[in-house]
A and B are shown apart, each in its own frame.
Chain A
Amino acid sequence: MSDSIDLIVKLIPLFPLMAVIVNGLFGHRYSHDLAHRFAWGSVLMSFLCVLAVFTETLRTGAAREVVAYKWIFGGDLTINLAYLIDPLTCIMLLVITGVGFLIHVYSVGYMHGESGFTRFFVYMNLFMVSMLLLVMGNNYVVLFIGWEGVGLCSYLLIGYYYDKVSAAKAATKAFVVNRIGDAGFLLAIFLVFVNFRTLDYTQVMQNAAQLSPEMATAIALCLLVGAVGKSAQLPLYTWLPDAMEGPTPVSALIHAATMVTAGVYMIVRNHAIFDLSPTAMTTVAWIGGLTALFAATIGLVQTDIKRVLAYSTVSQLGYMFLGCGLGAYTAAVFHLMTHAFFKALLFLSAGSVIHALSGEQDIRKMGALKSKIPWTHTLFLIGTIAIAGIPPLAGFWSKDEIMGHAFVHHHYVLYGMAAVGAFLTSFYMFRLTYLTFYGTSRLDHHTAEHIHESPMVMIGPLVVLATLSVIGGFPGVPPENGWFHHFLHSVAGVAGEEHATAPALMLGLMGTATVIALLGWGLAHYFYSGPSSAADALAARMPGVYTTLLNKYFVDELYDRLFVEPTKQIGRFCDWFDRTIIDGLVRSIDRGTDASSAAITWTEKHVVYAGLNIIGYANHLLARSWRRLQTGMVHQYAAIIVAGLFILAHLILLIWTGNGSNGYISR
């Protein structure tokens, strides 16, 4: 049994991988129909495997490690391509393969007729592989494969319409910003290795308590940098709204339900380290709280249907971080799950709207779609209610639990921020709903003629997601003590902190949250339900605030000014430096050689040559008479010279040996 489960675990990422290979290599040879069947079929197979594994985990309640093969090794380092299956992984797997499967099915309809149909599914499957590795890995490096792999797929899918300049730019931006986070994550991995001499979670978590608080803070903060990048938190969130350039299913799958939650998953996975560092925890909580509020404010005024949802995603991820920072890991994962349901639902419904309107995304050009696309309307409304936090839908339970934690742990400022954020969320989501489906139609003529409800292949998954959005909160009921909490307790429970909130307080908090959500709805209703100009008037009254929000606090511009442009400037400077100074130095050695060779040659000419020539010239003047001997006859030259030499030699010999006893002349 155990062996077969191991095999099933190994199969989970393998199915989509096979689809990638088959579709990638041969996809252009066969029809789109076959290609998409491979694609969603493989995810379905994975999902079935996940169900099997999940059942097994439910049964045993134990973690399971499965080694596929030895990957990187040498010296004191061994990294296996190995999987860790525990309750946390199971939840993530269920979300990924479940929601993933639905989105795949939806995409069949949504992407119908696109030129890169097969390419799209190859990327989507590749994403599934990466995401599965991310959550299944039993060590940091396998996590990192998935981590960067999803980044790549995100890059590819954002740039799916690559002939659009904005899409191309957004893709690059997403990858590069993610890389900043990745660098931090890498540092965290190194710190872990230096401290633990291993990169396997199990051993790291077992020995985490031995870390010094400073080291724990360092590791946690480095991990946080990675998480912030991937999960689009302040200050690295800017890529996510731009990522909406990708096709809508991509936004639903990658940029709402799965990839962006990887940061949360990673923090929960490493909570043993975070728990050791109050500094890091506070940082996480504050980043989460601030992001939740900050993104919500931007969401208020955006006019692109997907961008509103994008900022909403950033904001909701902020809640998850807030939960993590408060130590409410289960709540964070719970919100992660419910968010996956309703945000996927919202995105896909939005996609359905866009599909219906032949690609129109601007809500200023929508309105009164309720009757034209009733299914979509209903589903979108369910999603809105769920995210707004109105009971008993899924969003309420999970968000309320996080906010409750903030309150009971006396983080009142954070609670306040979360509450305001919740109010804003409710407001902008209902604003979106009203502007899209209610009021007067602002459609242009051409679009209005072609408007149509989406096919069943798209609506079907939406219905499933809507159902999940409605009932998805119940595993976490009652708060802090639901099935979900028990299931996750072994991996996400904070050791030694078992306190139950007083029922009265809990009910009070729940009531407050409901009121806040309803207030937001009410305000949206007041502003947007009819053909009122109240919103415009408000905007006109506060032009500064409005422009700032509309331009997203000018953060993109600020980053451009602060980081991008200076880097390019440095690049240009270095390029100049390289050509002029470094290469110039080399060339100047070249020129120096030229110059010194000229100088030396000058010396040769004016000193060495001239010196000799002067002697020779003087001699020449003195001995003009010798010239008569220059007859040009070779033999004469020779004879004269040889004779001269011999005479010279003999003379010298004579002089030197003249008085000597052994001189031959005296003999």
Chain B
Amino acid sequence: MAEYTLLIILFAPFVGALALIFVSNRQLSLVRGIAAGSAFISLIASVYLFYAYDPLKGGYQFIQRIEWSRQLGISLHLGVDGIGTPLVLASGILLFAGIFVSWHIKDRVKEFYIWILILAAATIGVFMSLDLFFLYFFYEMSVIPMYLLLGMWGSHTKKYLEMTDAEGLKQRDSVGFIFNFGANSKEYAAMKLVLFLSAFAVAALMGILLIYKFSGLNTFDILVLREQAHFSGPLATLIWLLIFFGFASIAPIWPLHSWSPVGHAAAPAATSMLHAGVLMKLGHFSIIRVAFEILPETTRELMPIAAVLCIFSIIYGGLVAYYAKDTKYVIGYSSSSHMGYVFLGMAALDYISLSGAVIYMFAHAMATGMLFAMAGWVYDQTHTRDIPSLGGLSNRMPFISAAFVIGCMASIGMPGTVNFIAEVMIIVGSWNKYPFQVVVAVLGIVLTMAYLFKMMRGLFYGSMAEKYSHSHDAVTVVDRMPLLIMITVSISFGIFPGHLYSVVRSGVDPLIARITKVVPVAEHPMNRPHATSPIVPTSASREALAKVTPR
């Protein structure tokens, strides 16, 4: 049974989606049941995966290999390492939470759940693909549902609605449309997202095909390519750049980010959660999986590019978020700012920092998931995302406002949340190589707090407009559960990150060892006998301090 874990995680949502096709939209509870059920199966399996993954053994585990095209060297080769495992778990959690966050959707529920399930399954697929072809396949597959989810169930921005009253369409077609920041229709957002990501995906595809072509191994299998393919010179550089920028666009790295906040803003809550929570991590993950694994030397040479760009990501994204007046824009830009930390962690090519980056991906999934879920809730209740027109909601929704605080805290990396662990690791790991970036990053933390608190104040404190007096809190289990799940995960991993850390570390160690050719010094944490039992008074000597002082 255990060896099929990956297949269960991957195909449970697909199967669910398939099943939903045959269910009528009128059977609402059945639709929801199927969606939730399949997501639940996937979640349980991914939790199992996470804890069953053996960090001591390390490497790729739960490997499944199904030949698909021997001639082309394509096979459905699935397996997870320490990097993929937590991301699979994050996807599972967010999918499950997302199903419940969108519980109250009225319009074409069935289709919505179908696409959400496909989106999540495709994302999960990327995290477990060991075959370049399928990695790319799932990658593209995850983009398409976004188009539909945005276009069908998304929402226009307030500014856009103001612009499109009488002669709206005309304005949209006019040249004014070019400067449409903050005034987007959902269709625009969807189109932009898909075109943009597809365009860059083609670049990534080029890179993949170049690898395929010039490795001369006639295989897309990453494990094979990793061991046997050798690239050097301009070709390696070209491939690396294609791979890096192709995938970094979804991460999104500055300046390839502009699709993302628009997409977030237009998307329904569950989509935003999945989008910011896991979809964006496809970029980092794919870079790690493809560029780091197959082109280690080139990675060592070229990764400083990311170190430069990440500064812009962090500060630029933070500042736009600070300015934004739309809740989802704030969270969206904050996400793209935070992805800069991941790039920083990756760029330093250090055991600790890369582990930090991976944990950060996981942590950010929870934090941003919470924030988007709550922004969605507020939107559902008030039908606006415009911060200045909101306010004073804490009296109406105490639970949401309390959870929002925790979301903010998680997002800025407050100790006690898993984000903190990640931040510390990124700082510790990157300092030697990129002290300046670290300083920028920590300033970014302060900036994050500034805009998130600004938003919190705008939504929940101050005076409340009369028209929102009918908005209500999340009271039912269904409404509260997604938030509670994400909060619990974030905090429990924040306090007990041990297993998460070892899992991640087991994935990162061989990778960095290959790239930097430095053997990790840490003998494995689990092997080390610990110094002291839980409650042992340290030395009672009068000179305890002096004793540990070097002579």
- Whether B539 is near chain A, meaning CB under 8 Å from some CB there, is no
A516 CA to B212 CA in the complex, in Å?
Answer: 123
Partner of A612, one of B144, B206, B258: B258
Partner of A614, one of B178, B196, B255: B178
A667 CA to B71 CA in the complex, in Å?
Answer: 9
| Distance from B328 Cβ to chain A, minimum over Cβ atoms (Å) | 15
A608 CA to B115 CA in the complex, in Å?
Answer: 30
- Whether B180 is near chain A, meaning CB under 8 Å from some CB there, is yes
B323 touches A597 (CB 8 A): yes
Q: Which residues of A contact B258 (CB under 8 A)?
A: 604, 608-609, 612
Q: Which residues of B contact A648 (CB under 8 A)?
A: 202
Q: Which residues of B contact A638 (CB under 8 A)?
A: 144, 148
Q: Which residues of A contact B71 (CB under 8 A)?
A: 662, 664, 667
Q: Given A617-B178, A645-B140, A660-B213, does the pair A608, B255 have CB atoms closer than 8 Å? A: yes
Q: Which residues of B contact A667 (CB under 8 A)?
A: 71
A642 CA to B198 CA in the complex, in Å?
Answer: 12
B320 touches A600 (CB 8 A): yes
Q: Which residue of A lies closest to B137 (CB)?
A: A649
Q: Which residues of B contact A634 (CB under 8 A)?
A: 108, 111, 115, 148, 152
A609 CA to B213 CA in the complex, in Å?
Answer: 36
Tell me the residues in window 592-611 of chain A with beta carbons closer than 8 Å to chain B beta carbons: 593-594, 596-598, 600-601, 604-606, 608-610
B180 touches A613 (CB 8 A): yes
A642 CA to B140 CA in the complex, in Å?
Answer: 9
Q: Which residues of A contact B151 (CB under 8 A)?
A: 637
Q: Which residues of A contact B465 (CB under 8 A)?
A: none
A597 CA to B140 CA in the complex, in Å?
Answer: 34
Q: Which residues of B contact A656 (CB under 8 A)?
A: 209, 212-213
B144 touches A601 (CB 8 A): no
B178 touches A657 (CB 8 A): no
A649 touches B319 (CB 8 A): no
| B144-157 near A? 1/0 per residue, CB < 8 Å | 10011001100000
- Whether A505 is near chain B, meaning CB under 8 Å from some CB there, is no
A609 touches B180 (CB 8 A): yes
A604 touches B447 (CB 8 A): no
| Distance from B285 Cβ to chain A, minimum over Cβ atoms (Å) | 20
Q: Which residues of B contact A606 (CB under 8 A)?
A: 179
- Whether A508 is near chain B, meaning CB under 8 Å from some CB there, is no
A463 CA to B29 CA in the complex, in Å?
Answer: 109
Q: Which residue of B lies closest to A612 (CB)?
A: B258
Tell me the residues in window 142-173 of chain B with beta carbons closer than 8 Å to chain A beta carbons: 144, 147-148, 151-152
| Distance from A167 Cβ to chain B, minimum over Cβ atoms (Å) | 49
| Distance from A490 Cβ to chain B, minimum over Cβ atoms (Å) | 44
Tell me the residues in window 414-430 of chain A with beta carbons closer than 8 Å to chain B beta carbons: none
Q: Which residue of B lies closest to A662 (CB)?
A: B218
| B194-215 near A? 1/0 per residue, CB < 8 Å | 1110100010011001001100
A609 touches B181 (CB 8 A): yes
Q: Which residues of A contact B324 (CB under 8 A)?
A: 601
- Whether B450 is near chain A, meaning CB under 8 Å from some CB there, is yes
A660 CA to B212 CA in the complex, in Å?
Answer: 11
Q: How many A-B contacts are there with CB distance less than 8 Å?
A: 88
B450 touches A593 (CB 8 A): yes
A593 CA to B320 CA in the complex, in Å?
Answer: 10
A601 touches B179 (CB 8 A): no
| B322-344 near A? 1/0 per residue, CB < 8 Å | 11100000000000000000000
- Whether A564 is near chain B, meaning CB under 8 Å from some CB there, is no
Partner of B147, one of A594, A608, A637: A637
| A431-451 near B? 1/0 per residue, CB < 8 Å | 000000000000000000000
- Whether B316 is near chain A, meaning CB under 8 Å from some CB there, is yes
Partner of A613, one of B178, B205, B209, B323: B178
Partner of B182, one of A605, A612, A642, A652: A605
- Whether B72 is near chain A, meaning CB under 8 Å from some CB there, is yes
| A355-396 near B? 1/0 per residue, CB < 8 Å | 000000000000000000000000000000000000000000
| A623-663 near B? 1/0 per residue, CB < 8 Å | 00000000000100110011001001100110011001010
| A64-80 near B? 1/0 per residue, CB < 8 Å | 00000000000000000
Interface size grouping (class) on chain A: 20 to 34
A662 CA to B219 CA in the complex, in Å?
Answer: 10
B209 touches A653 (CB 8 A): yes
- Whether B533 is near chain A, meaning CB under 8 Å from some CB there, is no
- Whether B177 is near chain A, meaning CB under 8 Å from some CB there, is yes
| Distance from A248 Cβ to chain B, minimum over Cβ atoms (Å) | 59
A596 CA to B323 CA in the complex, in Å?
Answer: 9
Q: Which residues of A contact B527 (CB under 8 A)?
A: none
Q: Which residue of B lies closest to A619 (CB)?
A: B195
Q: Given A605-B181, A605-B182, A637-B148, does the pair A612, B192 have CB atoms closer than 8 Å? A: yes
Q: Which residues of A contact B148 (CB under 8 A)?
A: 634, 637-638
Interface-central residue, A596, A641, A648, by most chain B CB under 10 Å: A641
A597 touches B213 (CB 8 A): no
- Whether A616 is near chain B, meaning CB under 8 Å from some CB there, is yes
Q: Which residues of A contact B198 (CB under 8 A)?
A: 645
- Whether B69 is near chain A, meaning CB under 8 Å from some CB there, is yes
A604 touches B177 (CB 8 A): no
A52 CA to B73 CA in the complex, in Å?
Answer: 114
Interface-central residue, B72, B152, B181, B195, by most chain A CB under 10 Å: B181
B320 touches A610 (CB 8 A): no
A648 CA to B136 CA in the complex, in Å?
Answer: 13
| Distance from A624 Cβ to chain B, minimum over Cβ atoms (Å) | 11
Q: Which residue of B lies closest to A664 (CB)?
A: B71
A594 CA to B202 CA in the complex, in Å?
Answer: 38
Interface-central residue, B73, B177, B178, B450, by most chain A CB under 10 Å: B178
Q: Which residues of B contact A664 (CB under 8 A)?
A: 69, 71-72
A645 CA to B140 CA in the complex, in Å?
Answer: 8
Partner of B177, one of A593, A594, A613, A645: A613
Q: Which residues of A contact B191 (CB under 8 A)?
A: 616
Q: Which residues of A contact B195 (CB under 8 A)?
A: 616
| Distance from B173 Cβ to chain A, minimum over Cβ atoms (Å) | 9
Q: Which residues of A contact B178 (CB under 8 A)?
A: 609-610, 613-614, 617
Q: Which residues of B contact A652 (CB under 8 A)?
A: 205-206, 209
A617 CA to B177 CA in the complex, in Å?
Answer: 9
| Distance from A280 Cβ to chain B, minimum over Cβ atoms (Å) | 44
Q: Given A597-B322, A604-B258, A656-B209, does the pair A616, B192 have CB atoms closer than 8 Å? A: yes
Q: Which residues of B contact A616 (CB under 8 A)?
A: 191-192, 195
B179 touches A605 (CB 8 A): yes
Q: Which residues of A contact B196 (CB under 8 A)?
A: 612
| Distance from A605 Cβ to chain B, minimum over Cβ atoms (Å) | 4
9 contacts between A and B (CB under 8 A): A593-B319, A601-B323, A604-B258, A604-B316, A604-B320, A610-B178, A610-B179, A641-B194, A660-B213
Which B residues lie at the A interface, using CB under 8 A?
69, 71-73, 108, 111, 115, 140, 144, 147-148, 151-152, 175, 177-182, 191-192, 194-196, 198, 202, 205-206, 209, 212-213, 218, 255, 258, 316, 319-320, 322-324, 447, 450
Which A residues lie at the B interface, using CB under 8 A?
593-594, 596-598, 600-601, 604-606, 608-610, 612-614, 616-617, 634, 637-638, 641-642, 645, 648-649, 652-653, 656-657, 660, 662, 664, 667
Additional 4 contacts, C-beta under 8 A, given A597-B319, A638-B144, A645-B198? A594-B323, A600-B319, A637-B148, A637-B151
